[in-house]
Amino acid sequence: MDVIQTPGDVETFLPEELEQRLGEQLRALRIRAELDQVQLAALAGVGLSAVKSLESGKGSTLKTLVRVVRALGCTSWLDALAPQVSVSPLQLMRASAAAEHPRQRVSRSRRPSSSPKPQSKSGD
């Protein structure tokens, strides 16, 4: 199944708007798959209220989203949400070294006090 494209730059949407948009797309995909909410909930192994919450844009857990997306056959969405991240060997080495030897502040040498020290009285 293809992802339904809607116009707009997702970077400008508020989280609530993205949840609404995601819910609309999930609903359209469910209808395209000729499933009702009860059938999708059963296929995904989630509750009916979870499917209704997702589709209405009220959100749900990540686990529920993953189950519903898999049940709809849209695992490419998951790849888009969490693409493979590559880390260079140099970055791994630096991160390992930083974990072994955390950076410490350089201590400043103490300056001698500019006020004169009180002299002890020696019985003169």
The CA-atom distances, in angstroms, between 90 and each of 80, 102, 121 are 26, 17, 65
Cα–Cα distance measured from residue 69 to residue 109, given in angstroms and rounded to the nearest whole number: 61
Cα–Cα distance measured from residue 88 to residue 32, given in angstroms and rounded to the nearest whole number: 42
CB 67 within 8 A of CB 45: yes
pLDDT per residue as tens, the chain (124 positions): 444 445 556 678 788 888 899 899 999 999 999 999 999 999 999 999 999 999 999 888 989 999 999 999 988 888 887 777 787 878 877 877 777 766 667 777 777 666 556 565 655 5
pLDDT at 83: 78
Domains of the chain by start residue, with CATH? 10-81 (1.10.260.40)
- Residue with the two structure tokens 């192994």: 45
- Which amino acid belongs to residue 38? V
pLDDT at 3: 45
pLDDT at 35: 96
What residues have CB less than 8 Å from 28, skipping those under 6 apart? 4
pLDDT at 34: 95
The helix (H) or strand (E) run that includes residue 14 is: none
Query: Phi first, then psi: what are they for 53, rounded to 5°?
Result: -65, -45
Cα–Cα distance measured from residue 72 to residue 31, given in angstroms and rounded to the nearest whole number: 10
pLDDT at 124: 52
Compute the Cα dihedral for 75, 77, 80, 83 and give only its sign.
negative
